Amino acid sequence: MKLIDGKSIAATVKSEIAKEVANMMDTDQKAPHLAAVLVGNDPASETYVASKERACKEVGFISSIYKLSEKTTEKELLKTIEFLNNDEEIDGYIVQLPLPKHIDTNKIIFAIDPKKDVDGFHPQNVGRMVMDMPCFLPATPAGIMTLLERSGIETEGKNCVVLGRSNIVGTPVAILLSRNSKKANGTVTLCHSRTKNLKEICLTADILIAAIGKAEFVTADMVKDQAVVIDVGIHRISDNSEKGYKIVGDVKFDEVSKKCSHITPVPGGVGPMTIVSLLENTLKAAKIQQKSEL
């Protein structure tokens, strides 16, 4: 079994991005600027935004965080979006999800300028992705495709089973894997909570992508010998360690890793690639804004 080392692949991509930023600075262009809007005090969201800020620093991006209170109204948030859309200093931005319940998430996503939508959630970017046109790809699915490509894993003609159909992971990764492209061309089955015979379908997978949101759901008896397993899940579960918890994925790593040809660890697999894809999108946004590339 080979471990797909997301941390190391992410470090390589980051150093490539850092080089491009240095080149931009050498030619008197400004460094890409990523902004993040954080509404409320959700600890997981705060951690994600802080790690995005750290990653920006590592590659030489400018980053800024717009921290708004939990009580921010939808109208106030839309004003911030309008400001970010019009601020020429900001190349791309994200609105960290989930938003508080009183705010209509879709209304906010629709208000983001698609040219600055580096999360790739705006319907215009989603539509362009489906039509295989230039767009910002959602970060986690794009990160998974990069992991497969850079690990030398062939997808063409392979049976790919995706567990989970969310808008941010399962559905877009199924679209990307089934694209008519040498880097994709997979035969994809997209499973969800109403899927019948889930285990039998999983057993047909040459490439199994678990984005189900259930800790250690995928067990060895669901995985074909020598399959490639990509684990998107992130869960904190209590244990007897000093920290009092450990991080696990949607896959029961200990038993599945004995059976498959490649597997992503959790942490250190898909997670680092998600942030890197966001950086890639921001670099692309900066090039579009600065008209050096269209």
Q: Which residues bind ligand NAP (CB under 6 A)?
A: 140, 163-166, 168-170, 191-195, 198, 211-214, 232-235, 250, 270-271, 274
Smallest separation, CB 286 to ligand NAP (Å): 23
Q: Which residues contact 36 (CB under 8 A, 6 or more apart)?
A: 49, 52, 53, 63, 64, 65, 66, 93, 94, 95, 96
Smallest separation, CB 108 to ligand NAP (Å): 17
The residue type of 254 is D
Active site (annotated) includes residue 289? no
Residue 201 structure tokens: 């379908």
Active site (annotated) includes residue 96? yes
Catalytic pick among 5, 117, 119, 206: 119
Smallest separation, CB 36 to ligand NAP (Å): 15
Residue among 79, 78, 49 at smallest CA distance from 64: 49
Nearer to ligand NAP, 100 or 268 (CB): 268
Smallest separation, CB 272 to ligand NAP (Å): 8
In the chain, the DSSP E strands lie at 2-3, 33-39, 62-68, 92-95, 159-163, 187-191, 207-210, 228-231, 235-238, 245-248, 262-263
d(CA 266, CA 236): 11
Residue 218 bridge partners (DSSP): 251
Q: Which residues contact 267 (CB under 8 A, 6 or more apart)?
A: 234, 247
Smallest separation, CB 254 to ligand NAP (Å): 18
Catalytic pick among 5, 14, 52, 117: 52
Catalytic pick among 5, 14, 91, 96: 96
3-state SS of the chain: helix, strand, coil percent to 5?
A: 40, 15, 40
The residue type of 167 is N
Smallest separation, CB 173 to ligand NAP (Å): 9
Nearer to ligand NAP, 52 or 284 (CB): 52
8 A C-beta contact, residue 67 and residue 45: no
Q: Which residues contact 18 (CB under 8 A, 6 or more apart)?
A: 58, 59, 60
Nearer to ligand NAP, 142 or 283 (CB): 142
Active site (annotated) includes residue 75? no
Nearer to ligand NAP, 34 or 90 (CB): 34
Nearer to ligand NAP, 263 or 270 (CB): 270
Nearer to ligand NAP, 24 or 270 (CB): 270
d(CA 12, CA 109): 31
8 A C-beta contact, residue 291 and residue 28: no
Residue among 139, 25, 37, 138 at smallest CA distance from 85: 37
Show which residues are catalytic: 52, 96, 119
